[in-house]
Amino acid sequence: MSDKCKSPLKTALHGMDERAYKMMAMYLQGPCKEAAVVVEDLKAEIDIIDADSVKAKTLLEQRLTESARPIIALSLQELTFENILYVKKPVKTSDLLFALSEARAILSVKKKSDNQVNTCTQNTASRQSQNPVTKPESLLDTVKKQATNTDEQKKTSKHQTAMQLDEGKFNAFIGSVPGLDVNDPKQFPDAAYNPKDYFQGYVQSALMVAEAKKQVMRLNSGWKPLIIFPHNHEIWLDADDKQLRAFAGVGMNKISGPGMTLTPEESIAASVQESLEKFHDQDAFLWKLAAWTSKGRYPGALDINRPVFLKHWPNFTRLVVTPHALRISALLMASPRTLPEIAEVLKIKPQYVFVFISSAYALGLIGQAKREASGSRYFCESFYGHPCPTSGKSYATANACGCPSRPASFVGYPARGIQHHSRNDSTRCRKACIFTTQKALRENTCAIASGDYSTPVSQRMKSFNHQSSKKLSNRVC
């Protein structure tokens, strides 16, 4: 965003005589295009100090200890203070504008942080925000630490890295339903479950109510109280994963169901504010709750014979990564598929597809394509937001899906993708990376033959097959 779109920074000038003061005010208004405007000290957002003035040292020290405002110091010599923005004299417009943009950035971070503090548990944060600026740190660091941090960083559950499950750990971690083989196509109709019959359904309803009312709510289940903080998109629960996993699988029958109540939480208990590690990100919580409720089944609201699509990638680094979840996501981002089709195309057990779909569905990331658009005919417009061009990746991708938005024969051959692997239908869904043009092939034949990895993308990716991805996956898990 250009500075023109922003309001001028309110600036107080220090250490300048009347003439220099006026000159600087005009300089900010003219050459600096009103990036800043001079105001009286009390109303200022930042300070500009002439660090070569007689009282400069005192002024700087005073400002650093008494004010958390960003400071820009103008000087002929490089200054030793670390927590100021320095502009060397003679002042160049570009340098001063850069310093002003940095000051704006610092203010923005501070403002953001203050907002967070206001919406978070308040005691600790308010103490933190009163801390004076400490000298050894940069101003930006100090601002970051003052407000953003302490509380947010202590919410360890929110920021811990993802757990990646491989196939071997699936049953132990996710569980299964006795007497049901979800991997048997004949039993697919029985492999559906209704989240409303479980704790998951109540949590989802409670989240919707809290979000609609924008109010902190407590879900009383007769088990452990669960508190929803809609403003921060957080959930607080005094239970560990083992306890939650066990409770997730318990069906809520008609007796226990009515016992559930949702009440506004007027004041947050000190015990909640102190147990920051029990805060969960709402999405991460719901994701794992759905996985544990599913136990390898799929939500009954989905028609297993109609293609589903993924609205966007889940934030996998903060979720439980179920087996093949990344591959399923990549496939669904490319085109809609039915659940059995996903398992078939990726050659994986349906239970891995079902559990992923259950979690993604709980987060609202799964949509079900309408029958008339269930093919890939409208792939480009639906998923890339624009029609296929005459050549290039989108066209090739659509073509790869077997349903370009215009017939391939309408496109001249040099621009049309050449399908290197067209043995069977499964290749139709390869991404555009396996396509290239004849011209590119001719030009790069030698490089391709030599195995040089600096060959065109289409050829490079042709060789980057699933095996490579799998090796990477195995290596890093």
Partner 1 sequence: MSHYKIIFTGPVGAGKTTAIESISDIAPIKTDASASDMTKTKKSSTTVAMDYGIMNLTGGEKIHLYGTPGQERFDFMWDILTTGGIGLILLLDNTRADPFQDMKFFLDSFQKFIAETNVAIGVTQMDLSNKPTINDYHSQLRAMGIKPPVFSVDARVKNDVSLLVQSLLYSLDPGIEA
Tokens standing for residue 325: 């979840």
Q: Per CB under 8 A, which region of 57-65, 215-223, 345-353, 406-414 contacts partner 1?
A: 345-353
- Taking CB under 8 A as the criterion, the residue among 19, 186, 312, 442 binding partner 1 is 312
Of 71 and 272, nearer to partner 1 (C-beta) is: 71
Of 120 and 248, nearer to partner 1 (C-beta) is: 120
- Taking CB under 8 A as the criterion, the residue among 116, 205, 391, 444 binding partner 1 is 116
Beta carbon of residue 326, minimum distance to partner 1 (angstroms, whole number): 5
Beta carbon of residue 152, minimum distance to partner 1 (angstroms, whole number): 6
Of 163 and 246, nearer to partner 1 (C-beta) is: 163
Amino acid (1-letter code) at residue 75:
S
Are the CB atoms for 434 and 417 separated by under 8 Å? no
* Closest among 71, 72, 73, 74 to 90, alpha carbons compared: 74
Of 11 and 397, nearer to partner 1 (C-beta) is: 397
Beta carbon of residue 466, minimum distance to partner 1 (angstroms, whole number): 3
80 near partner 1, rule: CB under 8 A: no
Amino acid (1-letter code) at residue 31:
P
- Taking CB under 8 A as the criterion, the residue among 192, 326, 415, 418 binding partner 1 is 326
* Closest among 211, 215, 206 to 237, alpha carbons compared: 206
420 near partner 1, rule: CB under 8 A: no
Beta carbon of residue 246, minimum distance to partner 1 (angstroms, whole number): 26
Beta carbon of residue 118, minimum distance to partner 1 (angstroms, whole number): 12
**Residues between 434 and 453 that touch partner 1 (CB under 8 A):** 451-453
Beta carbon of residue 464, minimum distance to partner 1 (angstroms, whole number): 6
9 near partner 1, rule: CB under 8 A: no
- Taking CB under 8 A as the criterion, the residue among 188, 318, 350, 360 binding partner 1 is 318
- Taking CB under 8 A as the criterion, the residue among 26, 30, 61, 98 binding partner 1 is 98
186 near partner 1, rule: CB under 8 A: no
Beta carbon of residue 249, minimum distance to partner 1 (angstroms, whole number): 27
Of 21 and 81, nearer to partner 1 (C-beta) is: 81
454 near partner 1, rule: CB under 8 A: yes
β pairing state of 320-321 and 163-164: parallel
Separation CA 210–CA 463 (nearest Å):
50
Of 270 and 313, nearer to partner 1 (C-beta) is: 313
**Residues between 118 and 137 that touch partner 1 (CB under 8 A):** none
- Taking CB under 8 A as the criterion, the residue among 4, 214, 254, 386 binding partner 1 is 386
- Taking CB under 8 A as the criterion, the residue among 11, 232, 322, 359 binding partner 1 is 232
Beta carbon of residue 27, minimum distance to partner 1 (angstroms, whole number): 19
